[in-house]
Structure 1
């Protein structure tokens, strides 16, 4: 059954419209709190947020919701999403909440929930919370209302944890690093972690004002970090997104290094060190064919999932892999974190840079991506163009033109009436033509 509130990564929307209101936040707190009131211990939830102006409103409303059903609340202030996952498990909390809309603009906000194990909630948990949102919750008796407190050492705990992801012999002395924190959740912790390990750090996107998160900075606006890296003569540039669960790198020349290249580096390095589990890497259907060929050349597998870091994580847990991610920059390293962590992934890249002694431009471009084209086709709500025979024929013909030298991926959006058409192959002209032909068929079928 389709869910009303939860999407692919929690609940998200424009603030004070639709789902993202103070009333809704309070109700989610009540519903999630009731669902996790298990056992006779004193129950606790950890709440973090990014730097959006609306974070104050949403945090206060969720505190009211959780305490009203008898949960104690610990507030951390602005911290990366993976920090909340880590603290939830470390503090033996029953639930963790991250108030963030990730890489979206400040007008949006969202709610991400973590279970006591630090992993994002299952579909079953989310469905149960939605049911409680519809039916309402039993409020606590007066003596059982929860308490709320804010902790001051959360940043230090997280910095210590991410530094522990490196062996003690790794130092970043002599490295000059440009770091773009997107005016978001990592604006204090990421530069501090790199500096404490010995790096010279040049920062940007570290002056949040409530409205500038992700605004022309961060992993989705790379022009800022590319310019800053070259201008500072830095060895490498690190770009995070608003809640710091995503990483994109640029080399010393300002050239982009996407998630596929980062997975290639970490996967091959861990395999060489005997640390890679599962015999390969988990990625989505959007990862470039070049990554798959590179890993095959190393005797490693690439296991593909549906788009979304939760699908990557589910496959990693089910099949015993410890390295996975997305082309967009979500890097999941299960030896060190229970969700995507841009800072932890960045430290793995920096460690490889130190060990190799090579410039980033040589180390980080491990394969040549094959030409890849992605186009979106919007269709009238209610129509089903992918069911048309003409579209099915166009897709089959496109796949036939590639054979084993390329791929076609057709993906309906989960949030809007859009069909995403992606193709990749060795010949750029063929790729472009296949995508255009399929898009044309979809448009015609959709009327």
Structure 2
């Protein structure tokens, strides 16, 4: 099994991800950098954060790299400060949307873009060889002024005077890295803010760190009770954001398509980047703008590099990832939310746009699957493709089957031990049928390997 998945290194703490592994990964990273390089590091709120952070810091220092500890921060802030404060690399200790028992490591370059697969392979090779540099110890210091620096950046990049301060906005931080940070930031921007699950707690007592329709009902109830207009719901490290209004969860594809349109309308660029997991709503939302949607592999690292290589105005994943080159080639949910709040007159505009478009029905499931057998499971799935009688097959990342009225995607998750199944069509029954068929097929194959 390779160390890196679609979004860094991820695993269950003390099983897949141990302090010893983190120490050696840090030594490998430090060895790939020059002596006295400067690295910044932040974490989300998980209870394992300190023991893993200490192991990483010790590994970096032992190879002659200087470290600045930024504490608990959203991933987009860590990525931005890596660039703005001129660090040579940035490390985020997080498992993003995974359950509390998971944690992980994400690496960022000095220009804020995530480490490419080639760079990850270099780190993995050094880790495997265990030939780490010996050097006088680096220095450790604590960061200061992170929120203020991010706020200054927002004020430089966004027309903050146009923010819709008439909207009442719920900030559901999910007890993750956004806790306190986003509420404070939005308050400084004179927005009307109602905080929810806004206390850092790595057990995520308020709700799951993965914001979805089935985990956000309490948020919707709170929004209605407070007569708010919109809820911004962040995942564990705040590199994702999804939205709710008084009618409920706004969906995955709807906000990403809406915000993509907002950005594309004001950009001279004629492309939008996305992944094989995104639905056809994205094309429908921008078809009158003459904008092309370019799809690539799943994962914010793949998406960031695709966005840059394609010269796209924005990169999106339907789970709520937004990469806006105006800010940088990293996922910035906070910046994306502020773009939305600076362009809409009322929360209902999102639903109004899609009321005028053909209705699509999108759903997904996942089948638990041990990491060591994922590849063999997917090989057997490929052998059964013909039985689905699709019109076309896209095997760029997993297997996406195209039909006249629908599509079905089956792919191995790069962040957890599971096989994901996603379907979209023009009718709920067709989506349900495809999703069930794909899920049953995968489950049967996995069961044979238990």
Residue equivalent to 1:233: 227
Residue equivalent to 1:310: 301
How far is the alpha carbon of 1:407 from its aligned partner?
A: 2.1
Residue equivalent to 1:206: 198
- State whether structure 2 residue 156 is matched by structure 1 residue 164: yes
2:362 equivalent among 364, 372, 375: 372
Residue equivalent to 1:299: 290
Residue equivalent to 1:426: 426
Distance 2:171 2:210 in 1: 9
Residue equivalent to 2:189: 197
How far is the alpha carbon of 1:67 from its aligned partner?
A: 0.7
Distance 2:204 2:369 in 1: 33
How far is the alpha carbon of 1:342 from its aligned partner?
A: 1.1
Residue equivalent to 1:407: 407
How far is the alpha carbon of 1:139 from its aligned partner?
A: 4.3
SS at match of 1:207: coil
How far is the alpha carbon of 1:361 from its aligned partner?
A: 2.2
SS at match of 1:17: coil
- Superposed, which structure 2 residues align to 1:230-309 within 5 Å? 230-251=224-245, 253-273=246-266, 275-277=267-269, 279-309=270-300
Size of the alignment, in residue pairs?
430
Deviations 1:311-346 (A, max 9, x none): 222221111002111111011111113211111111
1:23 equivalent among 20, 24, 27: 20
Distance 1:13 1:417 in 2: 9
Distance 2:45 2:416 in 1: 27
SS at match of 1:169: helix
User: Which residues of structure 1 form unaligned runs of 5+?
Assistant: none
- State whether structure 2 residue 89 is matched by structure 1 residue 91: no
Residue equivalent to 1:147: 139
Distance 1:10 1:222 in 2: 27
TM-score, structure 2 as length reference: 0.87
Flag the 1:30–1:182 CA change in 2: closer, same or farther, 3 A: same
Distance 1:374 1:114 in 2: 30
SS at match of 1:47: strand
- Superposed, which structure 2 residues align to 1:357-396 within 5 Å? 357=345, 359-367=346-354, 369-376=359-366, 381=373, 382=376, 384-388=379-383, 391-396=384-389
Distance 1:276 1:205 in 2: 39
Residue equivalent to 2:396: none
The CA RMSD over aligned residues, in Å, is: 2.7
C-alpha contact 2:46 2:100 (8 A) present in aligned 1: yes
Whichever of the two has the greater Rg, that structure is 1
C-alpha contact 1:172 1:197 (8 A) present in aligned 2: no
Flag the 1:201–1:73 CA change in 2: closer, same or farther, 3 A: same
C-alpha contact 1:96 1:113 (8 A) present in aligned 2: yes
C-alpha contact 1:185 1:243 (8 A) present in aligned 2: yes
TM-score, structure 1 as length reference: 0.88
SS at match of 1:303: strand
Flag the 1:79–1:364 CA change in 2: closer, same or farther, 3 A: farther
How far is the alpha carbon of 1:365 from its aligned partner?
A: 4.8
